[in-house]
Structure 1
Amino acid sequence: MKDTLMTPYAKNTLYIVLIALALRLLWLLLIPVIPVSDSVMYHEFAKSISSGNGYAFPAGNLTAYWPVGTPAIYAFLYTLFGESFFVIAVFNLIVGLLTLVLMMALARLWFNEQTAYIVGILYAIWPSQIQFTTILASETIFNVFILLGLFFWYRSQSNTLSNWIIGTIFFVAATYVRPIALLIPFILIGLSFLRGFDFKQLFSSSIIIVITMTILIAPWAARNYDLFDEFVLISTNGGPVFWMGNNPDSTGEYMPLPKDLEFDSETERADYFKSEAIKHIKEEPGIFAKRLAKRFVDYFRSENIGVNWNIEGIKQQGLDKTVLPLKLMSSGYWIFLVLLAIYGGIRIIRSDGFYNAITTTPIIALISYNTALHTIIASGDRYHFPIIPFVGLLAAYALFRMKSRIET
């Protein structure tokens, strides 16, 4: 009777989840939540929303600069439990465990159970993902919404359209966290079309998806129109971020905006920085080309952001000497998995063929989409988090193939 209570897969998943839980609880007990950088603003925005003042800066001016998704979620938690960083940390812990389970579910769906176990272990011990337990940030929230969308999108071949609608709802939730998710449903529809070349399905599904997205995004777009008298779908930071990676003083990574410029609205500022970035690219195509290469390298070269955004908590605990080792461990682990993922991708292409490799699952397509996007705009380790689940999946598949070759 006991053997029928849980399947072997469920038991093994539980063991992996418990390992992930233990590591994240240990980090949470050691490192306090002390917001820095964008985390400070997420907290302030959440306080404003939960107190009934709307999505506004501390001075009271309403905004749409950053996407509202993350502050809105934190505001909901603050409303229920009070303004507590511990509540955010517990929420992050739950998000991390759900991300792990979803990555395993997709690995099982797209590959096999052994790959699912491997990706679960890889994610359970992933340094940056453990470190994000004590950070107010959009990165892990975005990823869990994307994985939920993919899980429903691909979970069954029956009731395809209803699955796609549910998946789209989660993709829209991700869009409210980071607007780059807006195109993902259409990328997935395109991959489905390439697999089956069904024009009727392509047309009907596209219409339904557009309607679903419109219904869910329209209220926020209407709010923004009332605020700015201009159409703003989600946020106004697209132009500034584009400028950060493309201006005469750019390093290709995040940089602060000039403080000596004044604008009548956020939309005017967004348009200005977008036009300046385009102007710079047209005037300096050679520099733009060089920065493309640099941004590509910057996208993959390190993963220190978890340590950087926990720096005050680490220092408060008197653990300053651990900062460099933590960074080396985090970046070393990331680079190791990227190399494994490259091998995994090559193995899939060699066994399935290039066409099938890019259409059967969205892994390679979504890695390519996010990488291309941030190669054009701003780059750095904070921006590669959307591909973390897919790098993990490919790395796990690579280890599975290595294991299979050794055993044979």
Structure 2
Amino acid sequence: MRRTFEIIWILIILLAAVVLRIDFNLRYPAELFGDSVYMARFAEAVAQTGAYPTDFGIYWSPGVVYFLGWLIPLIGNEHNYLAYRLLQSVLSVSCLAGFYLLARLWFGRLPGMLALLLLAFYPPLVFYSSLIFAENLFFWLVPWLLLALYKWRETGGLFYPVMSGILFGLIHLVRPILIPLPVIFVVWFLLTKQRETYRSFFFRQIPACAIAGLLILTPWIAHNYALYGKVITSSAVGGLNFYIAHNEKANGKWVQVDVNSDVIKLAGTPEGEKRGYEEGWNYIRTHLDEELKLLGTKFSLFWTKTGQFWDGSATQFWEQTYGIPLIEMKYLTYLFLMFLVMEIRRWKSWFPLVGYVVAYQTMILVLYYADRYRSIVEPFLLIFAAVVLARVCVWLKQGWIGLFRYLRSVQKQGV
């Protein structure tokens, strides 16, 4: 009976989530802005020529560019890519189902169900279904990678290491921000598994994972090497972002830098990548006081700033149309801290999830804050919030049961 109820609950929530996202995209114009303008331009070039454009002054990861580029001839690009946005709304089922299974596997049935509820109706995740950003593809893939890593640790063998490598390679081509995760996973494995499993882990499973990942990345690496004579595994924007984060105008967020600088002129090339890092490091060495202040600013933004979309017009439209409250980021942070306190004794079980959140936040401190950058960890924060709410529900239930039994025993003694 409980299993049937859970399945019905999941199906209802998933259906409601898809309907909500489709309705939002049909109602809200979602005009292209910021990086999405250039993502779309790149994708249209792929649709027309079949090749990645190299004359647009930036070199992004190819995942979304090719994915959308291959779809444009089939679904078109009318009405601000409405068909693509509706497709993203439907494919959000994969994201939600993956994070639900992740929460259930790591923390249990009730946290999983509550996490699905929060994820389905969390406004920023609905907003993202209307954006042409890499984060959407990332959200579809990352929970399945974490599930594969969990099963790898539990069962061993070669199937899950190979699947992990394939998924890691695909995600790296979409958004190359999982670099810390392999290290975190290895540490987690060493902390939680017996020493007799180490030999197979290091000499069979990790090589199988690495080979699978490299097979996914090799065509793109070969393409870039033929073009530039350099090994580029995903994108060539790290140096540019580093320079944006560390210059005279830096304020902890994205800023418009001098368009006449060599970094901007060479953007999208290995030389521009190199110059960006050089200029950024030079600024850090000569402005340590300012850099320390910026660290505090970025830390505060990451944990307290509630995201805004289309200068807040999406939030206003959301509140007027649906009336579902927008959870302020500071409350998710409070719940995350409560999670750490409440679950500290079980730290080995959630180590990789929290480890990645902390590692990613460190990456933001190195670069700069943006709402969509922080969105990468928000599904995990919602899962942690669901765990806290589930534990509180269980405690309240146990408290009411205990109180009822006490009152009943007092009544019997009185009789």
| TM-score calculated relative to the size of structure 1 | 0.87
Matching residue of 1:227 = 227
The whole-number CA distance in structure 1 between the counterparts of 2:235 and 2:39 is: 14
Asked if the contact 1:95/1:140 (under 8 Å) is kept, the reply is no
The whole-number CA distance in structure 1 between the counterparts of 2:59 and 2:155 is: 40
The whole-number CA distance in structure 2 between the counterparts of 1:44 and 1:303 is: 29
- Equivalences, count: 388
Which of 280, 285, 291 in structure 1 is aligned with 2:283? 280
Shift, 1:177, TM fit: 1.3
Work out which of the two has the higher radius of gyration on C-alpha atoms and give 1 or 2.
2
- What amino acid is aligned across from residue 22 of structure 1 in structure 2? V
Matching residue of 2:42 = 45
Asked if the contact 2:318/2:324 (under 8 Å) is kept, the reply is no
Output one character per residue of 1:318-369: Cα deviation in whole Å (capped at 9) or x when no partner.
xx9648989x9876443322321221122111x32x4x2554xx21111111
Instruction: Give the 5 Å matches for 1:149-160.
Output: 149-155=145-151, 157-160=154-157
- What amino acid is aligned across from residue 364 of structure 2 in structure 1? H
**Does residue 1:399 correspond to 2:389, yes or no?**
yes
Asked if the contact 2:148/2:163 (under 8 Å) is kept, the reply is yes
The whole-number CA distance in structure 2 between the counterparts of 1:307 and 1:340 is: 27
Asked if the contact 1:107/1:119 (under 8 Å) is kept, the reply is yes
Change (3 A) 1:170 1:192: same
Instruction: Give the 5 Å matches for 1:43-122.
Output: 43-56=40-53, 61=55, 65-84=59-78, 85-122=81-118
- What amino acid is aligned across from residue 286 of structure 2 in structure 1? E
Output one character per residue of 1:172-201: Cα deviation in whole Å (capped at 9) or x when no partner.
111111111244234223311221244313
**Does residue 1:384 correspond to 2:374, yes or no?**
yes
Which of 358, 363, 371 in structure 1 is aligned with 2:361? 371
Matching residue of 1:269 = 272
Change (3 A) 1:120 1:358: closer
The whole-number CA distance in structure 2 between the counterparts of 1:48 and 1:207 is: 37
Asked if the contact 1:115/1:397 (under 8 Å) is kept, the reply is yes
Output one character per residue of 1:144-165: Cα deviation in whole Å (capped at 9) or x when no partner.
2111111222247335431122
Matching residue of 2:133 = 137
| TM-score calculated relative to the size of structure 2 | 0.86
The whole-number CA distance in structure 2 between the counterparts of 1:358 and 1:192 is: 12
User: Which is further off, 148-157 or 126-135?
Assistant: 148-157
The whole-number CA distance in structure 2 between the counterparts of 1:335 and 1:122 is: 16
Instruction: Give the 5 Å matches for 1:3-402.
Output: 7-56=4-53, 61=55, 65-84=59-78, 85-155=81-151, 157-196=154-193, 197=195, 198-204=197-203, 205-262=205-262, 263=265, 266-308=269-311, 311=313, 322=317, 332-349=327-344, 351-352=345-346, 354=347, 356-359=348-351, 362-402=352-392
Output one character per residue of 1:226-277: Cα deviation in whole Å (capped at 9) or x when no partner.
2122222211100111122212220111123421134467211111111111
Asked if the contact 2:18/2:93 (under 8 Å) is kept, the reply is yes
Change (3 A) 1:201 1:335: farther
Change (3 A) 1:337 1:383: same
- What amino acid is aligned across from residue 336 of structure 1 in structure 2? Y
The whole-number CA distance in structure 2 between the counterparts of 1:323 and 1:120 is: 20
The whole-number CA distance in structure 2 between the counterparts of 1:131 and 1:71 is: 20
Matching residue of 1:317 = none
The whole-number CA distance in structure 2 between the counterparts of 1:397 and 1:266 is: 45
- What amino acid is aligned across from residue 100 of structure 1 in structure 2? L
Output one character per residue of 1:206-234: Cα deviation in whole Å (capped at 9) or x when no partner.
32222222221121111111212222221
Output one character per residue of 1:123-173: Cα deviation in whole Å (capped at 9) or x when no partner.
111011111221111112112211111122224733543112212211211
Q: Report the identity percentage.
A: 20
The whole-number CA distance in structure 1 between the counterparts of 2:220 and 2:231 is: 10
Shift, 1:284, TM fit: 2.1
Secondary structure class of the residue paired with 2:339: helix
Query: Where does the alignment leave 5 or more consecutive residues of structure 2 unmatched?
Result: 399-415
Shift, 1:287, TM fit: 2.1
Change (3 A) 1:102 1:269: same
Change (3 A) 1:217 1:321: closer
